[in-house]
Amino acid sequence: MKKADHPFRFVTVSYLTRIENQTATTLGELRDGLEKCSGGSIFYHTFQSLGRHHFLTEGFSNDFAQWVLAALNYPVLAEQLAAPDIRGYLTLNDLRSDLLRITDDYCRSRSEEVGRVAFEPFYFCESVEVTIPHTSEAWTLEEFRRGLEHLSNQSFHYHFLVSRLRLGLRTNDFSLWFENELGLPTLAQRTNYIDVYTNTVEGARAKLFTFVDRELAA
């Protein structure tokens, strides 16, 4: 079994939620909030909300889209705001720009809906990330599997999805280590293709276990 030159270092992560000063009661105010809110707020309502969404039975995984549907009853715009695949974004500003473009296009085509008051306000929240190195690290695929067993769902989400923003690459911490340190490009590719929209966090972890076990048995 190949040993890596550099170990995989698992991270324990938690998020503190801070309510920002901005609120929105109309589509126009949501649009202005999207433009002015912090990057941490964009992260909270998209990347982090995807993890929270997996515990729900219905609705959109994007907080902006969910509010537009539930509080304004604009299903067309809600679907458009939920459409961007966050796995394809390397910066929060790029994601913000697309959300703004979608909202601006809708406002121009449905100007009569811009000022309609929602059933309830949208509160912009900001996510503050706190990371602590985990006690375990992995030098081999077998050690990685053992470490994965003790990784929380939130930390899995950090390594698998949030890492794209940190790395600036359309990949994740797991795949990068599999390919660069263990020389396992197929495992890296399979891992990166796990769909975070159709799988819960637990489901994504289960798929990764399956792929790793298959590689260990080969």
Tens digit of each residue's pLDDT (9 = 90 or more) over 151-167: 988 899 899 988 888 88
Q: Is 9 within a domain?
A: no
Q: Do 167 and 86 reside in the same domain of the chain?
A: no
| 178 in the same domain as 80 | no
Please state the domain count of the chain: 2
How does DSSP classify residue 62? S
49: exposed, middle or buried (Cβ count in 10 Å: 0-12, 13-18, 19+): buried
3 is a domain residue: no
Domain boundary among 99, 126, 153: 126
pLDDT at position 56: 47
Same domain, 142 and 120: no
| Same-domain status, 106 and 170 | no
Longest CA–CA separation in the chain, Å: 65
Residue 52 has pLDDT above 70, yes or no: no
Looking at residue 154, what is its pLDDT? 87
- The mean per-residue pLDDT over the stretch 59-76 comes to 92
116 shares its domain with 55: yes
Residue 198: inside a domain, yes or no?
Answer: yes
Q: What percent of the chain has pLDDT over 70?
A: 96
Distance of CA 37 to the CA centre of its chain: 18
Q: What is the mean pLDDT of residues 168-191?
A: 96
Query: In this structure, are 43 and 147 located in the same domain?
Result: no
Domain boundary pick from 105, 126, 147 = 126
CA 184 to chain centre: 25
For 174, the domain range is 138-217
Q: Do residues 150 and 116 share a domain?
A: no
Choose from 86-90, 94-98, 135-139 the range with maximum mean pLDDT. Answer: 94-98
Residues 199 and 110 in one domain: no
Containing 122, the helix (H) or strand (E) segment is strand 122-138
The reply to whether 8 falls in a domain is no
Q: For 87-93, what is the mean pLDDT?
A: 90
Question: Same domain, yes or no, for 19 and 106?
Answer: yes
> Is the per-residue pLDDT at 57 higher than 60?
no
Task: Quote the pLDDT of residue 37.
Answer: 95
Q: Residues 172-192: what's their mean pLDDT?
A: 97
In this predicted structure, what is the pLDDT of residue 58?
57
Same domain, 122 and 155: no
> What does the pLDDT read at residue 55?
45
Residues 188-199: tens digit of each pLDDT: 999 999 988 778
- Residue 2 included in any domain: no
Per-residue pLDDT tens over the stretch 15-35: 889 999 999 999 999 999 999
Domain assignment present for 196 = yes
Where does a domain end: 85, 105, 126?
Answer: 126
Considering the domain architecture, whether residues 102 and 79 belong to the same structural domain is answered as: yes
The answer to whether residues 107 and 147 belong to one domain is no
> What are 56's two structure tokens?
């729900």
What pLDDT shows up at residue 1?
Answer: 75
